[in-house]
């Protein structure tokens, strides 16, 4: 574990984030999980797929 992560955890214990910030983070995580699950299941529409620009590295899709 990185020393910076320990410092960050200690800061969170001393000064925890507000409930609003927690709700925002949990909402964003839930939306990302839903999108990834839909894409993995093949239910994400083709029009919403992002095309890779030219010259970028291609990463094999894990389907």
Please check whether residue 57 lies inside any domain of the structure.
no
What integer pLDDT is reported at residue 32 of this predicted model?
Answer: 95
| pLDDT tens-digit map of 2-61 | 899 999 999 989 999 999 999 999 999 999 999 989 988 888 888 887 775 565 666 666
pTM score above 0.75: no
Range of 33's domain?
17-43
What integer pLDDT is reported at residue 46 of this predicted model?
Answer: 81
Please check whether residue 11 lies inside any domain of the structure.
no
| Chain Cα centroid distance, residue 10 | 23
Please check whether residue 25 lies inside any domain of the structure.
yes
Please check whether residue 39 lies inside any domain of the structure.
yes
Please give, one letter per residue, the 3-state secondary structure of the chain: CCHHHHHHHHHHHHCCCCHHHHHHHHHHHHHHHHHHHHHHHCCCCHHHCCCCCCCCCCCCCCC
Longest CA–CA span in the chain (Å) reads 47
Q: Closest Cα partner for 12 from 43, 45, 4?
A: 4
């Amino acid at each position: 574990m990185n020393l910076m992560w320990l410092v960050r955890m200690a800061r969170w214990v001393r000064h925890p984030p507000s409930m609003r910030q927690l709700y925002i983070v949990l909402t964003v995580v839930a939306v990302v999980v839903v999108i990834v699950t839909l894409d993995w299941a093949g239910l994400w529409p083709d029009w919403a797929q992002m095309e890779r620009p030219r010259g970028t590295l291609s990463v094999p899709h894990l389907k």
